[in-house]
Amino acid sequence: MNRNQVRPQRRHATPSRIGRVRRQAVPKPRVIIALLLLLGLVSVMLLDGYLRAEVGNDQRVRSDASASKVPDSVLDGGPFLSFQGGTARTRSVPDKTIVLTFDDGPDPEWTQKVLDILDDNDVPGTFFLVGSMISRYPDVVRRMVDDGNEVGVHTFTHVDLSYQSAARVTREIAQTQLALAGAAGITTTLFRAPYSSTNDAIDNYSWPVYKKLGAMGYTSVFIDTDSEDWQQPGVSKIIKWATPKSGKGASVLFHDAGGNRAQTLEALPQYIKKMKSKGYTFTTVSGAQQQAQGQQAQGQQAQGQQTQAPQGTPGTAGNTRQSNPEQAAHRTADTATLWEGRALLGAVAVAEWTVPGLAAVLAVVGVAVLGRFAMMLVLARRHYRQRNRRRFSWGPSVTEPVSVIVPAYNEKECIANTLNSLAASTHPIEIVVVDDGSTDGTAEIAESLGLPNVRVIRQPNAGKPAALNNGVRHARYDIVVMMDGDTVFEPDTVQRLVQPFGDPEVGAVAGNAKVGNRTTMIGAWQHIEYVMGFNLDRRMYDLLRCMPTIPGAIGAFRRDAVLGVGGMSEDTLAEDTDITIALHRAGWRVVYAEHARAWTEAPASLGQLWRQRYRWSYGTMQALWKHRKSVTDRGPSGRFGRVGMPLVVLFQIVTPVFAPLIDVFTVYAMIFVDFKASLLAWLAVLLVQLVCAGYAFRLDRERYRYLLMLPLQQIAYRQLMYLVLIHSCVTAATGGRLRWQKLKRTGEVATPAPGTGVR
């Protein structure tokens, strides 16, 4: 398909006006809109992947580091570590007191059930929350705080902070505080590092982190009793391991997320009842610290000493303590932090809805794409068998002369090759060259060749549709063949192309357009696309009797049929698609002659390719919209409207628009889900495409070596085509207009040798 001519120039094209036309060729605002949409989607997916960092199985990245720089008083001290005046200080849980701590939440299932158990038993808990989980389930956090429980920071992505940069540490803490502010309107002074549950887990790498956090006013909370419920050892062992010895107080670790917590839920109420029966009371970290501080103050008063005021805590100036003493670590978030937190939760909510929704859409698209491949293979095979039967015939052999119309606008590089190839035709033809106001001597070159049966008709520049209509009016014969000025035919092309007219129901015939300049990478990519996409598709559409497009490079028409629908229309930029649909609606049958081959010069640069495909895509949308009423028509027109049009919309617009997301999701899954499984899935789809392409090459008797370019085509070229289509959709949605653009030609596609083609 080649639509390379300019729109009618109704005013004189001054150099400044031409410059304006060129600048308007690619509407920059629409490009920006498309790029912003793509950037927004990628950002949402990255946020979703960041939020879904794996949580669970508390195992350190490295466990053999030295702790020589960590004071023994910290390693052997109580589970609550704070700093006063730069000096590390620990506190223990008072005797007969239990601090229930829970890691890795919130979880919409397990945390809610843990909260139910705590409410039923009238005991509080201290939950160390992962910021990404807070962002996804803020309602659970809100209930947690409202029920009188205490919360602390457990980083945003559950990463081992001892091996991270200072900036990463700060970011992990700050992001979690923002999420907490957005969810419950508070911040907290409590912190627990992932993979560091007990004091002796502190080493020379992590010690600076704790010192930095202490200077910021955080209390780092460890444990001295571990239920090890994350190992799922059984209910009895969880209870046993969570029970402190000899009536001592304990900071006990459980988990409310990060895995299956059924055993934890079963063990927790039994454990609470057991400890209460032994005279234990339950409190939060702040409650235990207040008790310990009170006991220390009493001891100091007994010795006549004065107590030292506690160090300040993290948060913005003006923050106040909560009224509940069990939540003394909580701070009311200031206005800026509150709204930043709400903005974070809003972005997360968008990601939580968008990514699963897109995943569902892409699952449908993936099924449609694979279904299309299957349908193409089955129908193409049936089409091949049907057309190659010995008894197959279109009817009486077509031997009468035909008119070949060659519209030409500044085709000096190609016109000689085009006309020389037509002169070698084995079928009687007349050649009508319609020079559309060329300024490079195209008409003179055509006349100078001295070829028989060649007429050159000159007209002012009016565009390709006008040139074709002029050629139809001057044609002497009932069948007209239309081609582009940069295309060459094989000697038997015309003969093969017109044979379907032996059937009186046939009004038009699509030929087999092939890429002649396939020696470059871009040319090879387009060659694969032409053979696999365009021509394999046409076999399918032919069998379904709903051919959507006769390529501009090679097509044949009954002259009366073209005139009967008003000729080639200037309403759209896809005059070939427009005329094809119009013929369907007029009751004519449109078929595909796969053995009638034409060799066309494809765009040789990415810029020209973008402009060509942008125009094709936009023009196709215009044609479909123009003929939208065919959906409700009866007869042949209704068949195209209810069969052909939905297939074109689905396979040439909808699925290609969403297809780039499949690749984006593949990368997403490789990074955030399962690299091996995602790669294998991508390779499986590539294999399906390779099978389809291989079969298409077999039907067209093409050399398989070009299929070596298929993986790279899928990675690079296909993405470009998808972006072009998205750009076209944005242009259509915003009501933009697009002009014709002349593509640069080289004339490198030569006249093919008889029976060989250009290989």
Q: Which residues are known to be catalytic?
A: 103, 255
Positive or negative torsion for Cα 686, 689, 693, 698 = positive
- Nearest Cα residue to 134 out of 186, 193, 189, 169: 186
Give CA separation, 275 vs 281, 609, 642, in Å.
Answer: 8, 76, 73
The neighbour count for residue 684, using CB atoms within 10 Å, is 11
Q: In this structure, are residues 651 and 367 in contact, taking their beta carbons and an 8 Å threshold?
A: no
User: What span, in angstroms and rounded, lies between the C-alpha atoms of 291 and 79?
Assistant: 14
Residue type, 169: V
- Nearest Cα residue to 270 out of 236, 296, 245: 236
HEC-encoded secondary structure of 110-122: HHHHHHHHHHHHC
Q: In this structure, are residues 370 and 688 in contact, taking their beta carbons and an 8 Å threshold?
A: yes
User: What span, in angstroms and rounded, lies between the C-alpha atoms of 506 and 393?
Assistant: 13
Tokens 């919309």 sit at which residue? Answer: 649
Q: In this structure, are residues 506 and 479 in contact, taking their beta carbons and an 8 Å threshold?
A: no
User: What span, in angstroms and rounded, lies between the C-alpha atoms of 131 and 149?
Assistant: 17
- Nearest Cα residue to 505 out of 620, 670, 394: 394
Name 341's Cβ contacts closer than 8 Å, sequence gap at least 6.
177, 178, 179, 180, 181, 182, 183, 333
Q: In this structure, are residues 503 and 556 in contact, taking their beta carbons and an 8 Å threshold?
A: no
Name 29's Cβ contacts closer than 8 Å, sequence gap at least 6.
none
User: What span, in angstroms and rounded, lies between the C-alpha atoms of 450 and 454?
Assistant: 8
User: What span, in angstroms and rounded, lies between the C-alpha atoms of 83 and 220?
Assistant: 10
How far is the first Cα of the chain from the last one, in angstroms, to the nearest whole number?
A: 19
Burial class (CB in 10 A: 0-12, 13-18, 19+), 517: buried
Q: What's the token pair of residue 479?
A: 């069948």
* Partners of 482 in beta bridges: 405, 555
The neighbour count for residue 63, using CB atoms within 10 Å, is 9
Alpha helices in 551-674 (DSSP H): 559-564, 575-585, 606-626, 635-639, 645-648, 655-672
Residue type, 398: V
Q: What's the token pair of residue 262?
A: 């059924």
* Partners of 81 in beta bridges: 90, 220
Name 707's Cβ contacts closer than 8 Å, sequence gap at least 6.
528, 690, 693, 694, 697
The neighbour count for residue 410, using CB atoms within 10 Å, is 23
Pairing of strands 454-459, 479-483: unpaired
Burial class (CB in 10 A: 0-12, 13-18, 19+), 120: exposed
Strand order in the sheet with 429-436: 454-459, 429-436, 402-408, 479-483, 554-558, 506-515, 589-600, 487-489
Q: What's the token pair of residue 308?
A: 């030292």
* Partners of 330 in beta bridges: 188
Q: Give Dmax (Cα) for the chain.
A: 124
Q: Is the peptide bond before 106 cis (omega within 30 degrees of 0)?
A: yes
